[in-house]
Copies of this chain bind each other. A is one copy, B any other.
Amino acid sequence: MEQKKIFLAESEMPRQWYNIAADLPTPMEPPLHPGTGQPVGPEDLAPIFPMPLIEQEVSQERFIDIPEEVLKRYLIWRPTPLYRAYNLEKHLDTPAKIYFKNEGVSPAGSHKPNTAMAQAFYNKISGTKKITTETGAGQWGSALSFCCSLFGMECKVYMVRISYDQKPYRRVMMETWGGTCTPSPSNETEAGRKILAENPDSPGSLGIAISEAVEAAVSEENTKYALGSVLNHVMLHQTINGLECQKQLAVVGDYPDVIIGCAGGGSNMAGNSFPFIRDKIHGKEIDIIAVEPASCPTMTRGPFAYDFGDTVQMTPLLPMYTLGHGFVPAPIHAGGLRYHGMAPLVSQLILDNLIRPEAIHQLETFEAGLIFARTEGFISAPEANHAVAMAIREAIKAKEEGKEKVILFNWSGHGLVDMAAYEAYMSGQLSDYDLPEEEMHRAVQEIAPLPRPKQYKPGTIS
């Protein structure tokens, strides 16, 4: 019988993370202090992150040991299986081999615990008692609550108001793991009160929630802040995914021609692709595709510029593709892809033509999700359906070209807590949305006065 899943034994799980900063063809430009405009130093970050994570954020070491206390807890769901999508291949009648990495087997149902567990650990050993964070759709907040519970730490999550109301199950997941969850904007922080004063019915945004979580971390004792994507150390922790994939594909003697991941802040696609991008830097031909929603076209239409990570401009300025820190994306169901910026590492790799960004419309992603569920069985998170849809496009292209390509995509999580999105799709309530040019211009205006990176690249609006 054909092998469906490639497992690694626990003893084969990678013992190190891969740090792509050591291999970048073009060095990254530094984050800048929001007040001074000068490069931030460790002392600027110390109020919100524990020192081991700050060290990882700036590390140039190629491989970094995963602490044993993290490895032990990774074993709850790792190594994750790599699947061969035979049924999908057959359905598409494609000569391509399609593999997907199933990150949905974690207790939280997504890839997020890969970094949440590491961040919880480094905070624990640094004396942190409580971690604050923000969450959009709730994947990150629930993952961090899960990981904090295993280290006996408090977890406080500011959840974007509209998601808090629409996705009560996510809040209950956080509470089941002992976390607390507050809708954002809230009255608990100055940032929240300011927004509420202007608009008491604010639906919130990821940017606002970040502001609240950072403020809460700074103002409470023994409290730090954690971010679920965007930053270098988050990308680092996610690379265990791609390192596993490399071992797994070696078992069956395959190597990917195309690698696909959906990208909101960038961490799941980074985690899966970075170890392969190392090979690409060394000459391997691989097409690495980052997929974003057409309604939030950060990578495909935004400029590469310095911008804030949050709405109220508390975070350092990061060199990245951005739609402007005040950008409010359309309410598409892939909540994890509704972010105005993109990880600086992913952004840099796009600039260097090592990652190719693509945008996909919402309806195509759900159509792909139904095909996937009815062939491979698993119901994807709306975010993951962006990767599924692109894999289907590439498989069809392979058929048209008559090429036996190997396609690998990262299946970042299941959608069993997102069934309302499927209902909306199947009942015809969803539509596609292209960000109008004027709206994009307006959003990008607000970053114009900020410092510009040397590699500044204006938005690519046609």
Chain A residues near B (Cβ < 8 Å): 1-5, 7, 9-10, 68, 71-72, 75-77, 87, 105, 107, 109, 146, 149-150, 168-169, 172-173, 175-178, 369-370, 373-379, 416-417, 419-420, 422-423, 426
Contact = CB atoms under 8 A, between A and B. Distances in A.
A5 B75 contact: yes
B377 A168 contact: no
Contacts of A2: 72
Given A87-B150, A416-B417, A374 B178 contact: yes
28 contacts: A1-B10, A1-B71, A1-B72, A1-B75, A3-B10, A4-B76, A7-B7, A7-B9, A76-B377, A105-B105, A107-B378, A146-B373, A146-B377, A149-B377, A150-B374, A169-B416, A173-B419, A175-B426, A176-B369, A176-B373, A176-B379, A176-B419, A176-B422, A177-B373, A177-B379, A178-B374, A416-B416, A417-B417
A47 to B, nearest CB: 29
Contacts of A75: 1, 4-5
Nearest to A415: B176
A155 B433 CA distance: 34
Contact of A168 (B7, B71, B416, B423): B423
A252 to B, nearest CB: 12
Nearest to A173: B419
Contacts of A105: 105
B379 A173 contact: yes
Contacts of A172: 419-420, 422-423, 426
- A3, A5, A176: most-surrounded residue (chain B CB, <10 A): A176
A141 to B, nearest CB: 14
Contacts of A87: 150
A68 B168 CA distance: 42
A453 to B, nearest CB: 41
Nearest to A107: B377
A71 B370 CA distance: 23
A247 to B, nearest CB: 15
A416 B72 contact: no
B379 A107 contact: yes
Given A109-B416, A177-B373, 19 more contacts: A1-B10, A1-B71, A4-B10, A5-B10, A7-B9, A105-B105, A107-B377, A107-B378, A146-B373, A149-B377, A150-B375, A169-B420, A172-B420, A173-B416, A173-B419, A176-B379, A416-B417, A417-B417, A417-B419
A172 B374 CA distance: 14
Nearest to A87: B150
A5 B154 CA distance: 27
Contacts of A419: 168-169, 172-173, 176, 417
A158 B146 CA distance: 35
Contacts of A149: 373-374, 377
Nearest to A108: B377
A178 to B, nearest CB: 6
A416 B150 CA distance: 19
For A75, A377, A423, which residue has the most chain B Cβ atoms within 10 angstroms?
A: A377
Contacts of A71: 1
Nearest to A376: B76
Contacts of A376: 76
A177 to B, nearest CB: 6
Contacts of A375: 150
Contacts of A1: 10, 68, 71-72, 75
Nearest to A4: B75
A376 B436 CA distance: 47
Nearest to A175: B426
B4 A176 contact: no
Contacts of A370: 176
A378 B142 CA distance: 12
Contacts of A68: 1
A12 to B, nearest CB: 11
A376 B422 CA distance: 30
A168 to B, nearest CB: 7
A103 B373 CA distance: 19
Contacts of A5: 10, 75
